[in-house]
Amino acid sequence: MTGNLFIITAPSGAGKSTLTAKLLEADKNVHLSVSYTTRAPRPGEVDGRDYHFVDKATFLRMLEGGEFLESAEVHGNHYGTSEAWIRAQRAAGHDILLEIDWQGAQQVRQIFSDTIGIFILPPSIAELERRMRARGKDSEEVVRRRLGVAADEMSHAAEFEYVIINKDFEEARCDLIAAVRAARLVFSRQLERHPDVFKF
């Protein structure tokens, strides 16, 4: 029984991390893949829980060694997902969740064609800007740069199986949980998980 591989993608500030945390809290059968990054930890982030924080030299060494399922450079920082860990977890029947950008999602789909993509959209660019500024975590330069690429990121929503518009957080939370549950109910996945049920 192979575990499902879910990808959640969103422009910065759309609520992806908060929604993902609520999904993991509600569904203990989903395990988060912790990415490697060269980005500095933000206040409150913990190494090994939020990211594996490594320096650029270490990251590039891992990249050259073919250790990453996908990798990308975003806003000047490098991010990557351990392929060996993903394969082992799926082989053990665990559902895995990746929080990565659309570029990483494309790379993952080339290796795992059964990936289930979920894209989270803000209700508008104006609301996205308001949320970015309200976080107070990024400089003005970072906010402007991220807003500049948000439209391009959002244009890739059509590549994903599910799209959630995070206008009302509680509704978006319920939609995300529902999307994960619905994906498990596809016939091919049910047949693999419960073959005896289909022996008529």
Provide Rg for the chain, Cα atoms: 17
Sequence ranges of the domains in the chain: 5-33+94-198
Among residues 2, 17, 189, 200, which one has the least CA distance to residue 98? Answer: 17
Among residues 50, 85, 89, which one has the least CA distance to residue 67? Answer: 85
Task: Please count the other Cβ atoms lying within 10 Å of the Cβ belonging to residue 104.
Answer: 23
- Provide the pLDDT for residue 125: 86
Tell me how far CA of residue 93 lies from CA of 1, 90, 101, 103, 163, in angstroms.
Answer: 5, 5, 25, 26, 25
- Provide the pLDDT for residue 177: 98
Q: What does residue 3 show for φ and ψ, rounded to 5 degrees?
A: -70, 155
Q: What does residue 102 show for φ and ψ, rounded to 5 degrees?
A: -65, -30
Task: Kindly state the average pLDDT of the residues 123-143.
Answer: 82
Tokens of 177: 């949980």
Average pLDDT, the chain: 92
Determine the 3-state secondary structure of 118 from DSSP. Answer: strand
Q: Which amino acid is at 38?
A: T
Tokens of 139: 């400089």
- Provide the pLDDT for residue 139: 81
pLDDT at 144 over 90: no
Domain 5-33+94-198 has CATH 3.20.20.105: no
pLDDT at 136 over 80: no
Q: What is the DSSP letter of 72?
A: E
